Amino acid sequence: MLTLQPDAPAPLVSQIVDGLRRLIAEQTLRPGAKLPSIRAFAAAHAVSVFTVVEAYDRLVAQGWLVSRANAGFFVKRRADEPAPAGEAPRADLRFDARWYLQHIFENRHLALKPGCGWLPGDWLFEDGVRRSLRHLASDGAELGGYGLPHGHMALRLLIAEALAEQQIAAGAEQVLLTQGSSQALDLVARQLLKAGDAVLVDDPGYPNLMFMLRFLGARVIGVPRTPGGYDLAALEALLVEHRPKAFFTQPRLQSPTNSVTPVAQLFRVLQLAGQHDLTLVENDLYVDLDTEHRPSLASLDQLQRVIYIGSYSKTISPNIRVGYLVARPDLLDDLAQLKMLSGLTSSDLTERLAFGALSEGRWRKHLKSLRERLAQAHDAVARRLTGSGFELYSEPKAGMYLWARHPDLTDSAELSQQAVAAGMMLGPGHLFLVEPRPTGWLRFNVAFSDDERVHRFLDEQIRLQAQRAAA
């Protein structure tokens, strides 16, 4: 029915996709027909199971196949073709960005949280915050009134010094303090975009950002990530087709994939931005977790086309809600005005707390210890996952996440629902996709994933799926 040619120029994944599309179009595979299981197809055609997973996932995304939990892959029925009697329609996916925003904090009570987006309290700089709080209380600091529109000056100066270490030349007057990176992203989005504008984001990427942009009425378009950074050919095509106003991106230790964009690609992205009059919004949330000194878009561009965003939520504490954005002076003034219109000032008290924690002698030691701890967790979790047959997307051994999938676990949404019943929060992959679709990818937070109970659950689900496939 389908013949693959391993020596042909076309990749095997593309051959499978094109071949099955042809068979479906020709009605050789009719609507509702069940395809061979992933393992059966791989064995029949002498290809990797991951090759088949990728091909099936693409066909689902393109609307040719549908994935049914615990049942397999089926040719998708046309909208105008009635379903056979007795066949119930499959419920829509509900793990989307809106669901994530509404429910992520409700699930904090779960005993196991390998899919969460924060670090354990004892990994953060809570001692530094406590010392800063005690100092602030004893110093007789004024606690009434509002803060400054741009934020606490001492902290802005400290951030400017830290930026200089990252080869970003920006004075304190170019730093705007915000309530975490979320407010920074929101301010930039509202400043740059209006309803109907096209905007690019990483795909997979940050669910809250996608929801925020759609709430503003923007047309959200995904730029595919690869283990080696961006799909530059896709980016160029999207720029020509959609003429977007901005590209919100995370080149370093990107969530959820944890991939790192090489410097040659950064130069090319900047070149394309100049050619297409594109503003780049660089969310460098994990810069302090990186074990290597790498160039950023902002350091290569010096804030001509780049707006740079950072936060202390992943290193000090998410509870104090201190982030910042950095931009050229004219744009920063507009963003500061928008900040005042939407929420007056940010909290001077929390900004002082952050400054106290950052300016004490233990801060750099804390960062060094945190990076080492994350590297150890990466090693341990990666070994455990690969030992169970998982494929890892990228493994820089830094940052918070591993993006992984298993050939027997093809629907991470269904798996996540089962995990909740077992007292566990997973990170289902389609939550992070611009256009949610069934996928086997999962985001693992390495700080919470080195727990034998997590892996016992995953191994049990793999065993059950293998039994169903063999039945």
- Span 337-349, pLDDT tens digits: 998 887 777 788 8
pLDDT at 132 over 90: no
Q: 77-81, 174-178, 180-184, 375-379: which range is least confident on average? A: 77-81
C-alpha–C-alpha distance, residues 225 and 259, integer Å: 8
User: Which two tokens mark 337?
Assistant: 């005005």
Helices (H), ranges, 193-315 = 207-215, 232-242, 263-275, 297-301
Asked if 279 and 310 count as a contact pair (C-beta separation under 8 A), the reply is no
CA dihedral 101, 103, 105, 107 (to 10 degrees): -150
CATH number for region 12-75: 1.10.10.10
Predicted local confidence at residue 3, as pLDDT: 86
CA distances, 342 to each of 21, 174, 212, 463 (Å): 50, 20, 15, 52
User: What fold characterizes domain 126-359?
Assistant: Aspartate Aminotransferase; domain 2 (3.40.640)
Task: Provide the pairing of β-strand 442-445 with 306-311.
Answer: unpaired
Q: What is the arithmetic mean of pLDDT over 321-327?
A: 94
Asked if 160 and 173 count as a contact pair (C-beta separation under 8 A), the reply is no
360 versus 429: the higher-pLDDT residue is 429
Predicted local confidence at residue 49, as pLDDT: 85
pLDDT band at residue 108 using 50, 70 and 90 as cut-offs: low
**H or E element in which residue 326 lies:** strand 323-326
pLDDT at 151 over 70: yes
Secondary structure class of 308 (helix, strand, coil):
strand
C-alpha–C-alpha distance, residues 69 and 260, integer Å: 33
Predicted local confidence at residue 408, as pLDDT: 92
pLDDT tens for 262-283 read 999 999 999 999 999 999 999 9
Other C-beta atoms lying within 10 Å of the C-beta of residue 5 = 9
- Angle, CA of 405, 410 and 411, to the nearest 5°: 105
pLDDT tens for 337-384 read 998 887 777 788 888 889 988 987 798 999 999 999 999 999 999 999
Paired with 279 in beta bridges are: 246
C-alpha–C-alpha distance, residues 177 and 352, integer Å: 12
Average pLDDT for the chain: 87
Asked if 402 and 385 count as a contact pair (C-beta separation under 8 A), the reply is yes
Helices (H), ranges, 243-293 = 263-275
Q: What is the arithmetic mean of pLDDT over 138-147?
A: 67
430 versus 146: the higher-pLDDT residue is 430
CA distances, 163 to each of 124, 158, 238 (Å): 21, 9, 31
The class (CATH top level) of 97-117+365-470 is: alpha beta
Q: Report how far Cα 432 is from the mean position of its chain's Cα atoms.
A: 6
Predicted local confidence at residue 414, as pLDDT: 87
So where are the chain's domains?
12-75, 97-117+365-470, 126-359
pLDDT band at residue 83 using 50, 70 and 90 as cut-offs: very low
Task: Residue 175: name the closest of 345, 301, 308 by CA.
Answer: 308
Predicted local confidence at residue 86, as pLDDT: 39
Predicted local confidence at residue 61, as pLDDT: 67
Task: Residue 358: name the closest of 400, 293, 312 by CA.
Answer: 312
Asked if 316 and 180 count as a contact pair (C-beta separation under 8 A), the reply is no
pLDDT at 97 over 80: no
Strand spans (E) along 113-226 = 175-178, 198-203, 219-226
Other C-beta atoms lying within 10 Å of the C-beta of residue 237 = 11
Asked if 110 and 312 count as a contact pair (C-beta separation under 8 A), the reply is no
